[in-house]
Amino acid sequence: MKLLEEVQLKLVSSLKGKDLLTLLDYTSEEVQDLIKLATQLKALTKEGKCPKLLDGKTLAMIFEKNSTRTRISFEVGMHQLGGKSMFMHSRDLQIGRGEPISDTGKVLSGYLDAIMIRANSHEMVKELAEHATIPVINGLTDIYHPCQALADLETIAENKGTLKGLKVGYVGDGNNVAHSLVVAAAHVGMDIVVATPDGYECNEEIIAKAAEIAKANGSIVAVTNDPVEAVMNADVVYTDVWTSMGQEEESKKRLADFKDYQINDELVKFAKPNYMFLHCLPAHREEEVATSVIDGPNSYVFEQAENRLHAQKAVLASILA
C-alpha cells in the first residue's frame, strides 16, 4: 500500500477478482477510472518507475488465434508489474484433445492467479469464466475485443485531452472491434456512428445496450450504411480489416461488398481537420485504408498499439493487486 501512496495510483478496487469478458459488465465509472489508471501507469513506465504490484502473481495466456499485439503486450505488462506469464496454445493443452473447458478452468484455477484467453468462441470463454475461480480476461473473441477498446479510449484521451462530447466515426465491418468500441464510447460519453455495408451490421442487441449506456452519459449511438454520415465532423475515424481471421474464404466477396467503405483522402475530408485515424492493426493498406491516411499526420495507430500494453496493465493491476 505504501508503494501505491508514493506514486499516487488509484486502482479500480471494485474490479478486484472480477472477469473482463465485455465492457458491458463494467460501469461507466469503472471504465473511466481504468483509462486514468492506464495513463498513470504509462507515465510511470516511461520514467522507469512502473510499480511491481503483481509480484508473485502468474497469468496464463491461452491462444486459439495467432497474435502479435495481444501476446506481447500482456507478457510485457505482467513483467513490468513484477508478475509472470505463461504462453499456451490451445493445441498444447488438453482442451485441444477434447477436455471440457469447464475442467480446464477448474484445474488452472489451482495453479494460477488469472487467465487471459484469445479464442474463437465468446461462449467458450464465458463457460471458462463460469467454472474458473480466478479472473478470466477476454483477449479477443468473435464478438468482443474489450482490451482493444480500452487502449482506443486511452489514445483518444491522451491526444484530445477529453473523451466526453467527441464524435467517433467507425467505417467497416460490424465485428468484435466495432462492438467493443461502441460500448466503450457509450461509457465515456462519446457519440459514435457506425457505417457498415448492408448485411455486415453490428449485433442489434449490443447496439441497444450501448445506446442505453450512452443515453445515461449524454451521448448517442447510431448506425448507418453511409460512410460519409459516419465520418461527418468526426473527431476520430476508425476502421478495421474487412476480412478477419477465420473468414478467409469470404475474402473475395467482402472485397466487393466493402469497396465503397475505404478510409481514404476523399472520405476523411468530411471529418474535422484535426481528426485522429485509428486502426486496431494489422492493417491491409489500400484495402480498408489508403496508405496516405494510415501513414499520414492524422494517424495514431502505433501509439494506439502501444497503449494496449498500458491499458491492459490497468486491468491486470486492478483485478489482481
Q: Tell me if residue 118 is catalytic.
A: yes
Q: Tell me if residue 202 is catalytic.
A: no
Q: Tell me if residue 308 is catalytic.
A: yes
| Residues in binding site | 67-70, 94, 118, 145-148, 176, 240, 244-245, 280-281, 308
| Residues in binding site for carbamoyl phosphate | 67-70, 94, 118, 145-148, 280-281, 308
**Number of alpha helices (DSSP H) and beta strands (DSSP E) in the chain:** 13, 9
d(CA 174, CA 189): 20
Q: Tell me if residue 198 is catalytic.
A: no
Q: Tell me if residue 312 is catalytic.
A: no
Catalytic residue among 122, 145, 254, 279: 145
Catalytic residue among 33, 113, 240, 254: 240
Catalytic residue among 19, 50, 118, 142: 118
d(CA 301, CA 277): 7
**What contacts 127, CB < 8 A, 6 or more positions away?**
101, 102, 105
d(CA 7, CA 44): 8
Catalytic residue among 19, 40, 202, 280: 280
d(CA 210, CA 180): 9
| Residues in binding site for L-ornithine | 176, 240, 244-245
Catalytic residue among 148, 262, 304, 312: 148
Question: Where are the alpha helices (H) located in the chain, listed in sequence order?
Answer: 2-7, 28-46, 69-80, 101-109, 122-131, 146-160, 176-187, 204-216, 227-231, 251-257, 265-268, 291-294, 301-320
**Cis-peptide, bond into residue 51, ω within 30° of zero:** no
Question: Where are the alpha helices (H) located in 85-145, listed in sequence order?
Answer: 101-109, 122-131
Angle value at C-alpha 123, between 117 and 127, nearest 5 degrees: 75
Active site residues: 118, 145, 148, 240, 280, 308
